[in-house]
Structure 1
Amino acid sequence: MASIGIVGGGVVGLCAGIELLDAGRQVAIVDDDAAGASASWGNAGHIAVEQVEPLASMSMVRSLPQRLFLRGGPLAFPPSALAQWVPFGLRLLSAARPANFRKGCEALAPLLARSMPAWVATAERIGAPDLLRQDGHFVVWHDACAAREGHASWQSSETGSAEVHAATEAELALLSGLTDRPAAGAIRFSGSGQIADLEELRQALRKAFTDRGGILVAQRGELRVAGQRVEIGGVDADQVLVCAGVRSRELMEYLGHKVPMIAERGYHVRADASRWPADLPPVVFEERSMIVTRYRGAVQAASFVELGKVDAPADPRKWERLERHVSELGLPIEGPFRRWMGCRPTLPDYLPAIGRSTKASNLFYAFGHQHLGLTLAPITARLVAAMVAGGQPELPLAPFDIQRFA
């Protein structure tokens, strides 16, 4: 059976590796993120099956002025990254046109509909079903007008397999008890979920991979051309799969693919979780564009969409504002805070890239999952395994072909 080398050991790469091993392949993952610092392990832990409407939409474009970081919002366009976000933004505007937006919804919806069942199967397969919680999540508002508008907006939005319910009186009381002032309104989603602890997930996936005979190679994955094929430096593999997150751009463009991907940088702060209810699902404070997630050993507040450079230094103002949100709301979260910043791999139409290369006969790819990397990892792995085997994936992959940007 052919051997496969995977560049990238994040959640997508590990899930794909396990799927391929279970299909009888020999698999090596090449990854230099020994500390688990990538976006796979620093996100909000949310299984976001409700996000079937791509962020590349005209409603999002119209709301940009109110969302700017300089006006108190979560969206930042660093001047130093002008050369990155201007061309990205022009492509986003094209993707946001109504006809293209509808195509994006049609592509994302079946992926997300299969995401939770795929996660259930993966959690069982790696022997860690307790890491998956299917308790939904809350969205809360403290201004009455914002609550009415927000509730109506979510009720009219397409949410796929997730359902929206008005919070009960007991739930509203619980959410009000988290802050210094009562909640004006809240909704609860059912059908969504969370990972109970991202570091435990990382360790469980790595153990399941190596227990099946997979090899982890602790080095930076580099490609080289060998005729009509590619090779990974230092790894003997018949086929290659690129799952390298934001680094996928340089790897794919080296082969001649057009990959207009940007580093969509997100920030979080973590602190001791002793005062946050242990069984509370993730809570989105929508007026502050912040999601708070209770993990087993910490509580985390996350926010911000910063369209910038992969290697630019973090902006401490983002962490300071997150900590200020926590303080101003009076949340039961106390420092010292542990600060993190990571880069989501985002394509301008907010769809992933999943397919087979037209530049090298043995190259496959699965990257660009933006905010949905954790959510889509197991279903992406299933699609990749079928594709590599030469079979028919359960969903058409044409909408995710990187050639759409050629």
Structure 2
Amino acid sequence: MFGYYVSLAIRSLRGTPVLSALMVAAIAVGVGASMTVLTLNYMMSQNPLAHKDNVLYAVQLDSWDPNEAYQRSNNEIPYQLTYRDAMALLRSDIPTRQAAMHRYGFTVSSDDFELRPFSAEARITTRQFFALFDVPFVYGGTWDADADRSPVQQVVLSKATNEKLFGGENSVGRSIDLNGEPFTVVGVLDHWNPSPKIYDLNNGPFNEAEEIYIPFGLHRKFEIYSWGNTNGWASGDSGEGYEGHLQSESVWIQYWVELQDEEQLENYRDFLTGYIREQKQQGRFQRPLKFALTNPSEWLVLNEVLSDDNRVLGWLSLSFLLVCVVNAVALMLAKFLRKAPEAGVRRALGASRHAVFVQHLIESGCIGVFGGLCGILLALVGLGTIRQLSFGYIDQVATMDWLMMLAAVGMAILASLLAGIYPAWRVSRTNPSLYLKTQ
């Protein structure tokens, strides 16, 4: 019976092409607009580290001004650490893995004279960064442990950078120049580009992953500053110059730890408590003792990756879809009432009101299917326009996967069924005797 009703629906749609096209367009426009916004919100709210949500933690320490809280975050603790605090935490052997890091950049050149030097985004980090965030290697691996504290000039390349410099070949052991200094390649990554870039939400959560990775122990040799956010409230007695910057109260280091179980988590909390008390005795950390260990899902919320504005836009897009559904109700009512004589004949021949109602509701569902497919095309056009307007900033999130495509069709069918309930009910209530005289 369902197949028969579908065939009746197709014939009915063909019989009134203009009205049918208007109904499909009403649903398609509403679904296309709403799915454009909802897809962006859905992709922005993804957690690429969801599988490690119970073992991975961003570390925050409240080393801020004793007279004023750090107001940027909801928990009033700086998002990042000072260099001296990061180096102190690296001495702990409690975490299974831990990584200190920040953003930087280099001018890259090689012995290939045909390749012009280019600027590359870099991540200055410790060797456990790659294991901590499940970064895959295609060649080699990370640098030795002593490179985290001593100036060892080694580098890990992204897959794209390796293809640019060495044509995708195994470049482990070969040399490149960074700012004119020779660095030995120790590893090449496979494709890896998490979105949002959860390990560093301070510098654009949807930016591309870095092109090169450099050991943390090179700070003093090259006087490396952060290319990301640096905030501070006092220099204290740290002195001037680069060493003064390293010893200042400026926060510019992101810090993550991996803690496998509750016991390890409690031990690390005790360690942080002891460290802060020790620093208080030295005149630092003058605010009340406070720190935070935040898992990836909470970190995304804390950093407002999906802002309130995006949520408001999502509700507005659904409101627009509701307006389109109301328009579709009027169009369907006009179409179904034009078919009232046909429904009256069916009723006179023995069809029940329920059968007539289901027949027209299935026709509404068919309109939803066509509207959903057209809505997907409109959403893809909308997302493509957003990619162009954003100049590549959100390319990774302005895309529609199969799940969202299925959601678009499902939303369209639901919207069309809601729009068709009243018109289908009206036509099912027609009195057959009114139309038998005219047939």
TM-score, normalised with respect to structure 2: 0.23
Greater share of strand = 1
Q: Determine which structure has more spread, i.e. the larger CA radius of gyration.
A: 2
